[in-house]
Amino acid sequence: MGQSLTEIAQSLKDSGKKVQLIYAFNGTGKTRLSREFRLLVAPKYIEAEEEIDENTGIKVLYYNAFTEDLFYWDNDLDADINRKLTIRGNGFTNLVLKFLQDQGLDGNITSNFQHFTNQFLTPKFSPDFSEVTFSIERGDDETLDNIKISKGEESNFIWCMFYTLLEQVVEVLNVPEPVDRTTNQFDNLKYVYIDDPVSSLDDNHLIELAVNLAELIKRSSNLKFVISTHNPLFYNVLYNELASKVCYMFNKLEDGTFELIEKLGDSNKSFSYHLFLKHTIDEAINTNNIQKYHFTLLRNLYEKTANFLGYPRWSELLPDDKQTYYNRIIQFTSHSTLSNEVVPEPTESEKQTVKFLLDHLTTNFKYWKEV
């Protein structure tokens, strides 16, 4: 029996760690967990029109799917000319947008956005920061105004707004005395929750984004961060860049409850698919429950190892003296088309072959020794 999302959110809130890094597969419930966390920290932040208490200010900054839903397109369906991205106003966004406006951060947002997309793609904010239009400006007479950007570019733009805000907030809160700060709107801010930022980026830009975020986190002197993602690369970069953190695997159980399991290591050591394959085969060997499909899993494991090590054929990892023999066994048991003649229960000799070939793979190759 696992825990409810509220119970897991409470454990994250109660943690004393500066950074909590969560990995979860898509569809597990990361976005719902981020919402539960937000409601625990600041229960007044209901999605509708409730205003933020001026006496307490913002207690949590969050980026998730709900953040992106606050942005929607007015495509000017009648004239098809004045296309603009509109930001839905509520207590939270109105305060944030006013802060961005007062601090004159439109240039910072534009710079961050162009860095990750196109140096000629330029956002233009309305005076109250409630609407954004986009144009392509090449420095000549050819300017395309009021264009509609792609969904990936839109997601990137929203993240750049959030990141620019976060940069400024960290700078403000790093001033020790509240009376010396340029604003006191964030004096009670304690938590930043980020769920899967900009999954549309290519690997190089995603690595850069993760490094920049890690540097910003390290500069922050008094905020606590919870970051969840389904992207192993993004997770690994943050894992390696951040020293003071605790890492989790977030799972949804069959009964509808959830579990948050602490992991010691990056994704390659904690939850990658090749480790899942090895664990499954190991478990079958230890319980003497090897079936024919374990040959397929074994072949898959050999293929992944060969691909990582740069071997052109997975069979080259088999024992030299009986390479052809073992290759035929694995090929036959995993790819046999004679389904009516296949006996589901392997022979004792076949079971020993599975154990021998797994031991051979994990004992004789440095890659598996390091894992």
Give the pLDDT confidence of 33-44 residue by residue, as tens digits: 999 999 999 886
How confident is the model at residue 143, as a pLDDT? 80
Least confident of 41-50, 117-126, 349-358: 41-50
How confident is the model at residue 270, as a pLDDT? 67
How confident is the model at residue 326, as a pLDDT? 62
Query: Residue 139 above 70 pLDDT?
Result: no
Q: Once rounded to an integer, what is the mean pLDDT over residues 78-101? A: 83
How confident is the model at residue 223, as a pLDDT? 95
Q: Once rounded to an integer, what is the mean pLDDT over residues 346-371? A: 76
For the chain, what's the residue count?
A: 371
How confident is the model at residue 111, as a pLDDT? 94
- CA dist., res. 93 & res. 307, Å (int): 48
Q: Once rounded to an integer, what is the mean pLDDT over residues 1-30? A: 91
Query: Residue 291 above 70 pLDDT?
Result: yes
Per residue in 231-276, pLDDT (tens digit) is 888 998 999 999 889 999 898 887 889 999 998 877 666 666 677 7
Q: Which residues contact residue 87 at a Cβ distance below 8 angstroms, ignoring those fewer than 6 apart?
A: 70, 71, 93, 97, 129, 130, 131, 132
Query: Residue 128 above 70 pLDDT?
Result: yes
Query: Residue 189 above 90 pLDDT?
Result: yes
Q: Once rounded to an integer, what is the mean pLDDT over residues 8-26? A: 92
CA trace torsion 331, 337, 340, 345 (10° rounding): 20
Query: Residue 121 above 80 pLDDT?
Result: yes
Using alpha carbons, select from 19, 7, 52 the residue that is nearest to residue 191. Answer: 19
Query: Residue 196 above 80 pLDDT?
Result: yes
Residue 139, Ramachandran bin (φ over 0: left; ψ between -120 and 50: alpha; else beta) = left
Angstrom distances, CA of residue 88 to CA of 81, 93, 101, 131, 350: 21, 7, 16, 9, 63
How confident is the model at residue 337, as a pLDDT? 44
End-to-end CA distance of the chain: 30
Q: Once rounded to an integer, what is the mean pLDDT over residues 174-185? A: 92
Query: Residue 54 above 60 pLDDT?
Result: no
Q: Once rounded to an integer, what is the mean pLDDT over residues 211-221? A: 94
Query: Residue 300 above 90 pLDDT?
Result: no
Q: How confident is the model at residue 327 (pLDDT cuts 50, 70, 90)?
A: low
Query: Residue 93 above 70 pLDDT?
Result: yes
CATH 3.40.50.300 in the chain is located at 5-270
How confident is the model at residue 344, as a pLDDT? 59
Q: Once rounded to an integer, what is the mean pLDDT over residues 112-127? A: 92
Q: Once rounded to an integer, what is the mean pLDDT over residues 61-77? A: 89
How confident is the model at residue 44, as a pLDDT? 63
The tokens for 199 are 């999954």
CATH class of 5-270: alpha beta
Query: Residue 53 above 60 pLDDT?
Result: no
Residue 56 or residue 252, greater confidence: 252
How confident is the model at residue 280, as a pLDDT? 81
